[in-house]
Structures are given as structure tokens and as C-alpha cells.
């Protein structure tokens, strides 16, 4: 669960969401992201560090630049998690709350 929390924290910033949107088109150099979002190199580095820590992006060195791409496996897993957590399931934690509330109402 903590891994998912880190992912959601990383996704909670507008610039990082814009970076992910840009990377959805394919691998990009940090300079492309800088130009596309009109952000400085230190700002891009900061955001890419957070996205990398959450394992949302892959990076590789290409000369003096770093090229970034989406880690599709993590995004696919995240979609599955969202579907799981937002769907009815047996033995859900809410069952304990409902049972407790119903017994108090009796």
C-alpha cells in the first residue's frame, strides 16, 4: 500500500501530470520536456526525481542528456489497483464497520 501512496503523491502535481502526458507520446529528452513546459533544468530534474522514485518513469543517459519514458507496467498495475479498491469485494474492511453499526442500532 505504501508504494501506491508514493505514486499518488507523485501524481499530485500539475507539472508532473503534464510530464506524464508528454511522455505518453514516447521517450523524450529532458531538453524536450523543458521546452514543452517552459521549465528550467533544475525544476525538470526535481520532478523527474520524484517520478523516478515512484517508479513511474524510466531513464537512460544519452550523452549529456537523460531520456525518459513511462514505466507502463507501473501504470497498468496502478489502474488495476484503482479498479480493485473502488470495487465491491468479499471481506472488505467496510464489512466490519457495517456490522458494528448495525449491532449498535439494535
Distance CA 83, CA 51 (A): 22
User: How many residues make up the chain in this entry?
Assistant: 106
Contact between residue 74 and residue 7 where contact means Cβ atoms under 8 Å apart: yes
pLDDT of 40 > 70? The answer is yes
Which H or E run includes 27? none
Domains annotated for the chain, with CATH where assigned, are 2-105 (1.10.10.10)
Contact between residue 67 and residue 59 where contact means Cβ atoms under 8 Å apart: yes
- pLDDT one-digit tens code per residue, 66-104: 999 999 999 999 999 999 989 888 877 777 675 655 555
pTM: 0.82
Question: In Å, what is the CA distance from 97 to each residue of 86, 87, 101, 102?
Answer: 17, 17, 6, 9
Q: What pLDDT score was predicted for residue 94?
A: 76
Q: Given the C-alpha cell 449491532, which residue does it identify?
A: 103
Amino acid at each position: 500500500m505504501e508504494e501506491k501512496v508514493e505514486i499518488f503523491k507523485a501524481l499530485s502535481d500539475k507539472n508532473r501530470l503534464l510530464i506524464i502526458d508528454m511522455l505518453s507520446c514516447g521517450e523524450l529528452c529532458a531538453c524536450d520536456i523543458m521546452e514543452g513546459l517552459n521549465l528550467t533544468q533544475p525544476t525538470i530534474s526535481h520532478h523527474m526525481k520524484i517520478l523516478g522514485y515512484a517508479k513511474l518513469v524510466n531513464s537512460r543517459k544519452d550523452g549529456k542528456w537523460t531520456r525518459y519514458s513511462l514505466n507502463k507496467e507501473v501504470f497498468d498495475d496502478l489502474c488495476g489497483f484503482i479498479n480493485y479498491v473502488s470495487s465491491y469485494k468479499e471481506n472488505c474492511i467496510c464489512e466490519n464497520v457495517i456490522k458494528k453499526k448495525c449491532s449498535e442500532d439494535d
